[in-house]
Amino acid sequence: MDYERKLADMIAGYSIDVQEDENVLISFESIEAVNFVECLIDEINKRKGNAFVRFDLPRLHNMTLEKISDSGIKVLEKEGKLDVENYDSFISIRSDFNDYEGVDVPSETRKKIGKRLAKSRDIRVNNKKWVLLNYPTSLDASKMRMPTKKFYEYAFKAMCYDYRLMKNDILPLKELMEKTDMVRIVAPGTDISFSIKGMNMVPCCGEKNIPDGEIYCAPVKNSVNGVIKYNTPSPYQGLVFHGVTLTFKDGKIVKASCDEQELVGKLEEIFNSDEGARYVGEFSFGLNPFILNPMGDILFDEKIIGSIHFTPGSAYKDSYNGNDSVIHWDMVLIQRPEYGGGEIYFDDVLIRKDGLFVLDELKPLNGKEVSN
């Protein structure tokens, strides 16, 4: 409970900074998170905000989508509009149940829902205060091959990181990225280059995602060339892909493959969702020193220290390269030695090798968990 109380206080007082009379919607998916939700309600009440709660079990939610009609999708659209009208802040608490949950929802239905909810989602992401976190569960512990108690301590340690300290450490990297034109990433099966010139660099230090610890920007849309092979599991739309390899030419994905031959067709289907699905909306460094290995949970995996993620799909408005899509698929490449190593170059200058920054001003970002 101490960890939960500490995290609730950080979210209410720092991440969304609850103000008097603000309406905050807390949505959650697991009974395991009830005690934590109680802590959040207490912290919101302390700040004289109004807390509202919504429980949504993924298994039942996906069942409602499997045969939903167009009139039903219109109801979802109306609900999305009402949410952004009624609430000032959103706390979304996800929980891991089954990576394949939702696989029976037709792709065409997902596309329709994505398009209908795009406007309210855009308002929620870009004009409202929000934070997204994954509450650790016993299933997560099993995936990490850890006892539940030990995993909870590991997860909450990562989530309760001192993000105010990270804000200071991240500034030299932000300044260097702002001066950079070309980025090159090299790793086993990977040699890819792209420009970030003129793009806005966005540090993420506990305001939107929990756990947090990254800095991202969009690449210049048509500048991406080469091949990238991701070395962590990539869950999406109720399926888990391994060894996803993407080939780019002038910004566009021209070839996509994965280890599971039977899923290559599904991979192509995802990238055919719309025109923007074949272009990249985000490039980011993972910087959380307490997250070392993938667990199939993207909120954790994309923050792995010594990693990058390179994301096909929609760009965020705060670093916008003109790319829009119904998808935004974060996929992770870890470059620490135990994952094959690799290098990152800014304008032909080596800035990170085998997951560790080599420039003195960036070394505080290596984290004592790794560099010692």
What is the pLDDT at residue 101? 72
Q: Residue 43: exposed, middle, or buried by beta-carbon count in 10 A (0-12, 13-18, 19+)? A: buried
What is the pLDDT at residue 103? 75
Q: Which of 126, 159, 192 is the last residue of a domain?
A: 159
What backbone torsions phi and psi does residue 173 show, to the nearest 5 degrees? -70, -40
Query: Are 37 and 176 in the same domain?
Result: no
Q: Which of 133, 159, 185 is the last residue of a domain?
A: 159
Instruction: Determine contact, residues 51/91, Cβ cutoff 8 Å.
Output: no
Query: Are 170 and 249 in the same domain?
Result: yes
Query: Are 257 and 122 in the same domain?
Result: no
What backbone torsions phi and psi does residue 235 show, to the nearest 5 degrees? -75, 140
Query: Are 236 and 124 in the same domain?
Result: no
Query: Are 182 and 130 in the same domain?
Result: no
Start-end of H helices in 184-237:
none
Query: Are 83 and 128 in the same domain?
Result: yes
CATH number for the domain including 85? 3.40.1830.10
What is the pLDDT at residue 50? 98
Into how many domains does the chain fold?
2
Q: Which of 134, 159, 184 is the last residue of a domain?
A: 159
DSSP 11-54: IIIIIS---TT-EEEEEE--GGGHHHHHHHHHHHHHTT-EEEEE
What is the pLDDT at residue 338? 97
What backbone torsions phi and psi does residue 146 show, to the nearest 5 degrees? -130, 150
Those residues whose C-beta lies under 8 Å from the C-beta of residue 126, and which sit 6 or more positions away, are 316, 317, 318
What is the pLDDT at residue 97? 66
Query: Are 111 and 206 in the same domain?
Result: no
What is the pLDDT at residue 370? 43
Query: Are 137 and 194 in the same domain?
Result: no
Give the separation between CA 362 and CA 369, rounded to whole angstroms.
Answer: 16
Query: Are 138 and 200 in the same domain?
Result: no
DSSP 326-356: S-B---EEE-SGGGT--EEEETTEEEEETTE
pLDDT by residue, tens only, the chain of 372 residues:
588 999 999 999 999 999 999 999 999 998 889 999 999 999 999 999 999 999 988 888 888 888 999 999 999 999 999 999 999 999 999 887 666 777 788 888 888 888 888 889 888 888 899 999 989 888 888 878 889 889 888 899 899 888 888 889 999 999 999 999 999 999 999 999 999 999 999 999 998 999 999 999 999 999 999 999 999 999 888 889 999 999 999 999 999 999 999 999 999 999 999 999 999 999 999 999 999 999 888 889 999 999 999 999 999 999 999 999 989 999 999 999 999 999 999 999 999 999 999 999 999 999 864 443
Query: Are 121 and 194 in the same domain?
Result: no
Query: Are 113 and 140 in the same domain?
Result: yes
Query: Are 237 and 118 in the same domain?
Result: no
Neighbours of 260 (CB within 10 A): 15
Q: Which residue from 299, 189, 306, 304 is spatially nearest to 242, judged by alpha carbons?
A: 189
Which residues form the domain of 237? 163-371
Radius of gyration of the chain (CA): 20
Instruction: Determine contact, residues 202/283, Cβ cutoff 8 Å.
Output: no
What is the pLDDT at residue 107? 82
What is the pLDDT at residue 368? 64
What is the pLDDT at residue 169? 94
